[in-house]
Chain A
């Protein structure tokens, strides 16, 4: 089983790396990484913006064979605060070394499950006080969920076959609502037109946006038009 740094082999597919850098810059984390498991070979592949020395040490020590932030977190549906591993010897093995590279054991992992049951993991760390950490978590957890699913989909969609398998399937409601957004209607207007609550409109917009791998609603509209899912407004 190998540890593959995707940034080193796929020069044109850098957007997952962009996502983890954005997680650090915009949400206030020191380091971030995204990892997934190749179901065929069992390799761990992903991106990390940790210092190179730590990445090399991590791989050479074989930490990716047992690091609980990967193997335990994939068993949860919710983000896992690493404080949950305080009794785990394997965690201490990895993070005793991490300390020497200036990396804090204060972090969390957001697990993403994909449509084929595959799992992706977004790890973030920040060296700060307990209070600051709790405040940060409350503030950014939703954004982390979005970043994690984006990083995962970006990696999974690299490669032509995967792109075909991942072609977004929007429901009639999602298409209809995106069509009304393209026509310039507000969520409240759309709710009135379709006789549904604005919260229902919101939940469909969000789902449609994520299926299209878009960060913003205008971007989702652009992609939906590009894919012929809706008509230009």
Chain B
């Protein structure tokens, strides 16, 4: 699902943006080898200080799995400045109805192949639908996107081929970068939706995005969510719960955890109590 974070609501989403900057560092710094400024594992540049709109994709676990940054071409933007070599020395487009899309990426580590919800293809489509619909509502007709050839192929394969390119592809780290033109039309949006099988409204409200990010981050995922190996006692409880066949037996294990709670940190206890409950629920 998509949350649009701009200068107005960014104070609510500092942590989401922080995770997004880390994703960008992994993609543009590590994987693509662009000459980007990475500090503390986060890629942030001066255009992030100009209140751009970030189109951010959160998966069901509340993780940031894709993003794109939008700026108006009437004001300062990357093609007018750092990417101007792509335009072969020509001045950039300037139009209230053209937005620039940069830093478009998805998390290829968390996402797989294929077309399912946790695939590169699905999240790419989701980010594109989000940004095109957001642009269209703003009265914007076209977008100019700075992308790499891999992203270009993903777009071509997913019913979303750019209708043209400006300037020429230029070496940028381990790959080249190019400026692709895409219209923000109903035809294109419905084409992407059809290809990805996304019929629902992709936008989250601020509150929904906050809840999705918080609940999944706060909830321990397993007994050893403190990331240490299970100790003997934890192992015993997990086995007991796995073997429990009746409600009485489940309750007995939970009681025993309570009895021995002075052996655990509060976090461990909380995690242990919820893990057997999860087991019990499945049983």
A35: CB under 8 A from chain B?
Answer: no
Q: How far is the CA of A199 from the CA of B142 in the complex (A)?
A: 9
B74: CB under 8 A from chain A?
Answer: yes
Contact B74 A207 (CB under 8 A): no
A78-B6, A113-B72, A117-B75 given as contacts; is B137 within 8 A of A210 (CB)? Answer: no
> Which residue of the partner chain B has the closest CB to A143?
B139
Most buried by B among A75, A146, A211: A75
Contact B96 A77 (CB under 8 A): no
B108 to chain A, nearest CB (A): 28
Contact B94 A211 (CB under 8 A): yes
Q: How far is the CA of A203 from the CA of B181 in the complex (A)?
A: 9
Q: How far is the CA of A78 from the CA of B51 in the complex (A)?
A: 11
B187 to chain A, nearest CB (A): 11
A219: CB under 8 A from chain B?
Answer: no
Q: Scan residues 133-174 of chain A and give those whose CB is less than 8 A from a CB of chain B.
A: 137, 140-146, 148-149, 152, 169-173
Contact B93 A145 (CB under 8 A): no
A113-B75, A171-B87, A197-B164 given as contacts; is B134 within 8 A of A78 (CB)? Answer: yes
Residues from chain B with Cβ under 8 Å of A80 in the complex: 8
Q: How far is the CA of A149 from the CA of B74 in the complex (A)?
A: 8
Q: Scan residues 100-155 of chain A and give those whose CB is less than 8 A from a CB of chain B.
A: 112-117, 119, 137, 140-146, 148-149, 152
A76-B53, A203-B181 given as contacts; is B8 within 8 A of A146 (CB)? Answer: no
B141: CB under 8 A from chain A?
Answer: yes
Q: Scan residues 187-202 of chain B and give those whose CB is less than 8 A from a CB of chain A.
A: none
Q: How far is the CA of A141 from the CA of B181 in the complex (A)?
A: 21
Q: How far is the CA of A210 from the CA of B7 in the complex (A)?
A: 26
A89 to chain B, nearest CB (A): 15
A-contact 0/1 string along B147-187, CB 8 Å cutoff: 00000000000000001101000000000000001010000
Q: Scan residues 179-199 of chain A and give those whose CB is less than 8 A from a CB of chain B.
A: 196-197, 199
A76-B53, A114-B75, A203-B142 given as contacts; is B91 within 8 A of A169 (CB)? Answer: yes
Contact A76 B75 (CB under 8 A): no
Q: How far is the CA of A12 from the CA of B212 in the complex (A)?
A: 55
A75-B6, A145-B139, A172-B90 given as contacts; is B95 within 8 A of A115 (CB)? Answer: no
Q: How far is the CA of A83 from the CA of B144 in the complex (A)?
A: 30
Instruction: Find B8's partner among A75, A117, A140 (CB 8 Å cutoff).
Output: A75
Contact B72 A112 (CB under 8 A): yes
B44 to chain A, nearest CB (A): 17
Residues from chain B with Cβ under 8 Å of A77 in the complex: 6, 51-53, 70-72, 99, 138
Residues from chain B with Cβ under 8 Å of A25 in the complex: none
Contact A112 B74 (CB under 8 A): yes
Contact A204 B93 (CB under 8 A): yes
Residues from chain A with Cβ under 8 Å of B72 in the complex: 77, 112-113
A84: CB under 8 A from chain B?
Answer: yes
> Which residue of the partner chain A has the closest CB to B140?
A145
Residues from chain B with Cβ under 8 Å of A210 in the complex: 74, 94-96
A46: CB under 8 A from chain B?
Answer: no
A117-B50, A171-B91, A199-B183 given as contacts; is B96 within 8 A of A78 (CB)? Answer: no
B98: CB under 8 A from chain A?
Answer: yes
Instruction: Find A142's partner among B91, B99, B141 (CB 8 Å cutoff).
Output: B141
B215 to chain A, nearest CB (A): 22
A32 to chain B, nearest CB (A): 15
A151 to chain B, nearest CB (A): 11
A206: CB under 8 A from chain B?
Answer: yes
Contact A113 B76 (CB under 8 A): yes
Q: How far is the CA of A112 from the CA of B76 in the complex (A)?
A: 11
Residues from chain B with Cβ under 8 Å of A172 in the complex: 90
Instruction: Find B74's partner among A75, A84, A113, A196 (CB 8 Å cutoff).
Output: A113
Residues from chain A with Cβ under 8 Å of B94 in the complex: 115, 207, 210-211
Contact B98 A75 (CB under 8 A): no
Residues from chain B with Cβ under 8 Å of A112 in the complex: 72, 74-75, 96
Instruction: Find A199's partner among B73, B137, B181 (CB 8 Å cutoff).
Output: B181
Contact A196 B7 (CB under 8 A): no
Residues from chain A with Cβ under 8 Å of B71 in the complex: 77
Instruction: Find A203's partner among B91, B93, B134, B139 (CB 8 Å cutoff).
Output: B93
Q: How far is the CA of A158 from the CA of B25 in the complex (A)?
A: 43
A72: CB under 8 A from chain B?
Answer: yes
Most buried by A among B50, B92, B93, B141: B93
Q: Which residues of B contact A (CB under 8 A)?
A: 6-8, 50-53, 70-76, 80, 87, 90-99, 134-135, 137-142, 163-164, 166, 181, 183
Known: A148-B96, A149-B96, A200-B163. 5 other contacts (CB 8 A): A77-B70, A115-B75, A197-B164, A206-B141, A207-B73
